[in-house]
Chains A and B, each alone.
Chain A
């Protein structure tokens, strides 16, 4: 009975997920193997081959990869350090949390307007990176602070009595305790870095400087050019990358948790 009720409550959400995600995603597979959305001629893996040969797809992948590799570790490290400092020294934690969350709820257009008005000396790539760190760093810190606040303080106390210094307390006790949150924020950061587009679009338009031509630019521009087979193929490729990263992180988390506990 309870299972049935759960399913019933989930139904609206599942219906939306099915309609707006699963069905189009299945269609993407269809388009990815056809000549185009109009002639519908089956062409096997031609679209994948042409996509991997496409200069602009390669450029978009390179830029997106570079951005993710730089942005995710940076945002994770900065967030963690800030969270650890705040939990130790901050006196008004709820206020700090709210302040940190502010960039997430600020509209991208506002951020970009402020950026253009006051800070426009950076290169396009660095501009985008800094905006990303500012925007998503706050969210990560907030999540980490919540995890840190909920941690059992007696464990740190015990480690301190046993003679562990601050670094050892952090590495050996604090981090393993908030590991699930760290993995979650990591996945969130990876996904957000792969999707970075709004700020890039608002700052530099559909055809930005080639250093910030991202995968989303490619998808968006080729939609306007009616290249649905390209968009579908790229979307599948993109999804595979995201799911692989998530799977790897889940496995790593599981193994790490097992090795600790």
Chain B
């Protein structure tokens, strides 16, 4: 019985032994060619003639231990931990470099050798073995790799500078994509048993022990070129591609064959340096100062600003993150900087990629409160935010919600009290009072300030000069829908119309009269339905039908549009192009008629809320107080809502200046100073009479108004479309 049980085991052992023997006998030719340099003995050369040297290294040990792939958190750089910033001078002609341990290996365009900078002592030494024309350098736990453009090979050195082996590159350097040969190759890395060479038109990999390079077949669209690439693991690569015409950048993670690609969300800043270590992908941009980001699935988080002393041209060429240290190699600045990673407690803001620039500006504008932010793919941001709110997440302090993400989330936030009352901070309360005079109902509920509006897409209308000279009595201040009807009816047969015929150049109807019609419909909905209620008021549909039947009467008797308009849009979003502000100086600004005697429907597109479960509640409120102070509230890159007083103060701050010395480009051109003064006078009325409205301009509504104006649909049909778009979708 025992013999029977042992037999399969014995057979298994014999099979395994045979397989092991076969494997040992079938060792592949690896393609790596040993060098006959003086440092390498002939016997060694003989032994290494068929393979990259197989001396024991940390990398190879870990590689074997973990069955062919290193664990994600393996530190491939092992930088020294630094308590404070260190800077090292190297020649300004140094153009490429890579770090490992306490050494930084760099290449110099004047002196074509490989240099080693000691990051502890600051001393520099040189590799004795020569390379003809080194263009890229990479390090791993087992040595230094150098791309030699003239020899068309990648040379492999020990850390001591002893040239051990080389392998020919898979393609001839060429000047494709209008780049010279010098800029042909962009990235060189060795990690986890894989050698990577990225060139402008593709990414090549060579596995240790293999003879043939393989090209990652990632698709380059419309003349795109590979900008950078990095090895994430033995099986996965990260590739950054750029479009030279549009400047657009795509970042992909693919397997080494270029397949199974997933795209990182787009960002508004292009990448200077990519780096992978300990399973994390780091990215540096220089759009508004050098910034380090950690890329995550579906988004990325700002980590810290990268600074260095005395850079005439502060652009990062290479970066490495390890052991709480960030190594920065500055492009053509002759500097290498070691920075401690920022671990200070910060207020964390989350937003969608769509609004990264706004958060970025907010962070720059904040001088008192440390800020960090994470951005997520616009398509998934809302879902992430919903789940975070649902689970009571404390992962963020402030959320920047964009109207493009949802028109119902704000309603849900208010209804479920998912906010921190901004009035808790006295300074912030005072600022909000100054910015939105008398508008407590506009930005909250139950007497609490629930959110801070950043962008309110509203339009301002005025009685035109013709209207003022017509002799027809014009209402002023608040007016009801009944007064508006009487006013419109009184125009029949006078030669005057309510709105201008035609449009402002290529602008659509929204900038002509549709905005007024749509705004009035929104006023009717806001006035007849409880905005936070769950069920529509039955009167709403009837009121909309009545409104559009009124418009239909005017459309049919040709007083809705005409050559002598009484009402004209004076500004769209206030900070419009000058072309949109014709006659604005001569117009008397008016409120929209409201169902209850007045009331402008105010739509909030972008806003900030403070997470009720946030870990830094007080700091978050302090940050908002700082952002709304007199210095920052007129920053058009943050607030795109006209505030009272001081419309003319709005501007685009120059990113190169900050604080009180910041230069600004006015958001409203100087010639509209008179109009701005009128706005200043009008805004308190506007805010006092505004009501929060949870509807947005939709394509369906736009088409409906156009069809209605063209006589293709009746007023009742148009009203029903409004009802479906604005009420059904809000409450259904």
Is the A/B pair a real complex?
yes
Q: What residues of B have a CB within 8 angstroms of the CB of A38 in the complex?
A: 389, 392, 416-418, 612
Question: For residues 381 through 412 of chain B, which have their beta carbon under 8 Å from a beta carbon of chain A?
Answer: 386, 389-390, 392, 406, 408-409, 411-412
Distance from B654 Cβ to chain A, minimum over Cβ atoms (Å) = 41
B732–A213 touching, CB < 8 Å: yes
Is residue B724 contacting chain A, with contact meaning CB distance below 8 A? yes
Is residue A74 contacting chain B, with contact meaning CB distance below 8 A? no
Question: For residues 153 through 210 of chain A, which have their beta carbon under 8 Å from a beta carbon of chain B?
Answer: 207, 210
Is residue A101 contacting chain B, with contact meaning CB distance below 8 A? no
Q: Decide: A226 near B416, CB < 8 A? Known: A53-B535, A54-B535, A55-B536.
A: yes
A226–B732 touching, CB < 8 Å: no
Partner of A224 from B386, B534, B612, B731 at Cβ < 8 Å: B386
For the complex, what is the distance from the CA of A36 to the CA of B390, rounded to whole Å?
Answer: 11
A207–B417 touching, CB < 8 Å: no
A56–B418 touching, CB < 8 Å: no
Distance from A183 Cβ to chain B, minimum over Cβ atoms (Å) = 36
B732–A37 touching, CB < 8 Å: no
Q: What residues of B have a CB within 8 angstroms of the CB of A50 in the complex?
A: 534
Which of the four size classes fits the interface of chain A?
20 to 34
A226–B731 touching, CB < 8 Å: no
Interface centre among A207, A213, A224, A225 (most CB of B within 10 A): A225
Partner of A226 from B390, B535, B536 at Cβ < 8 Å: B390
Name the residue on A nearest B613 (C-beta): A38
Partner of B416 from A39, A54, A207, A218 at Cβ < 8 Å: A39
Interface centre among B408, B534, B724, B732 (most CB of A within 10 A): B732
A207–B728 touching, CB < 8 Å: yes
Q: What residues of A have a CB within 8 angstroms of the CB of B536 in the complex?
A: 55
Name the residue on A nearest B612 (C-beta): A38
Q: What residues of B have a CB within 8 angstroms of the CB of A56 in the complex?
A: 534-535, 728, 731-732
A-contact 0/1 string along B408-439, CB 8 Å cutoff: 11011101111000000000000000000000
For the complex, what is the distance from the CA of A205 to the CA of B416, rounded to whole Å?
Answer: 26
B417–A224 touching, CB < 8 Å: no
B390–A228 touching, CB < 8 Å: yes
B416–A36 touching, CB < 8 Å: yes
Which of the four size classes fits the interface of chain B?
20 to 34
For the complex, what is the distance from the CA of A135 to the CA of B416, rounded to whole Å?
Answer: 40
For the complex, what is the distance from the CA of A217 to the CA of B728, rounded to whole Å?
Answer: 12
B417–A230 touching, CB < 8 Å: no
Q: Decide: A207 near B724, CB < 8 A? Known: A38-B417, A54-B534.
A: yes
Is residue A211 contacting chain B, with contact meaning CB distance below 8 A? no
For the complex, what is the distance from the CA of A217 to the CA of B729, rounded to whole Å?
Answer: 11
Is residue A123 contacting chain B, with contact meaning CB distance below 8 A? no
Is residue A108 contacting chain B, with contact meaning CB distance below 8 A? no
Is residue A146 contacting chain B, with contact meaning CB distance below 8 A? no
Q: What residues of A have a CB within 8 angstroms of the CB of B415 in the complex?
A: 36, 226-227
B732–A221 touching, CB < 8 Å: yes
A226–B386 touching, CB < 8 Å: yes
Q: What residues of B have a CB within 8 angstroms of the CB of A55 in the complex?
A: 535-536, 731
For the complex, what is the distance from the CA of A218 to the CA of B389, rounded to whole Å?
Answer: 21
Q: Decide: A226 near B389, CB < 8 A? Known: A39-B416, A210-B728, A213-B732.
A: yes
Partner of B408 from A210, A225, A228, A230 at Cβ < 8 Å: A225
B729–A207 touching, CB < 8 Å: yes
A-contact 0/1 string along B159-179, CB 8 Å cutoff: 000000000000000000000
Distance from B62 Cβ to chain A, minimum over Cβ atoms (Å) = 36
Distance from A39 Cβ to chain B, minimum over Cβ atoms (Å) = 6
Q: Decide: A207 near B412, CB < 8 A? Known: A56-B535, A226-B390.
A: no
A-contact 0/1 string along B1-14, CB 8 Å cutoff: 00000000000000
B732–A207 touching, CB < 8 Å: yes
For the complex, what is the distance from the CA of A78 to the CA of B456, rounded to whole Å?
Answer: 57
Partner of A37 from B390, B408, B535 at Cβ < 8 Å: B390
For the complex, what is the distance from the CA of A7 to the CA of B722, rounded to whole Å?
Answer: 58
Interface centre among A38, A39, A56, A207 (most CB of B within 10 A): A38
For the complex, what is the distance from the CA of A210 to the CA of B731, rounded to whole Å?
Answer: 13
For the complex, what is the distance from the CA of A226 to the CA of B390, rounded to whole Å?
Answer: 8
Distance from A66 Cβ to chain B, minimum over Cβ atoms (Å) = 17
Distance from A23 Cβ to chain B, minimum over Cβ atoms (Å) = 15
Question: For residues 345 through 403 of chain B, which have their beta carbon under 8 Å from a beta carbon of chain A?
Answer: 386, 389-390, 392
For the complex, what is the distance from the CA of A116 to the CA of B412, rounded to whole Å?
Answer: 34
B-contact 0/1 string along A216-243, CB 8 Å cutoff: 0110010011111010000000000000
Interface centre among B386, B413, B534, B729 (most CB of A within 10 A): B534
A225–B412 touching, CB < 8 Å: yes
Given contacts A38-B417, A38-B418, A225-B408, 12 further A-B contacts (CB under 8 A): A38-B392, A55-B536, A55-B731, A56-B534, A56-B732, A207-B732, A218-B732, A224-B408, A226-B389, A226-B413, A227-B412, A230-B534
A-B contact pairs, 10 of them (CB 8 A): A38-B392, A38-B417, A38-B612, A54-B535, A55-B731, A56-B535, A207-B732, A224-B406, A225-B412, A226-B415
The 5 closest A-B pairs by CB, nearest first: A226-B412, A55-B535, A56-B732, A36-B416, A54-B535
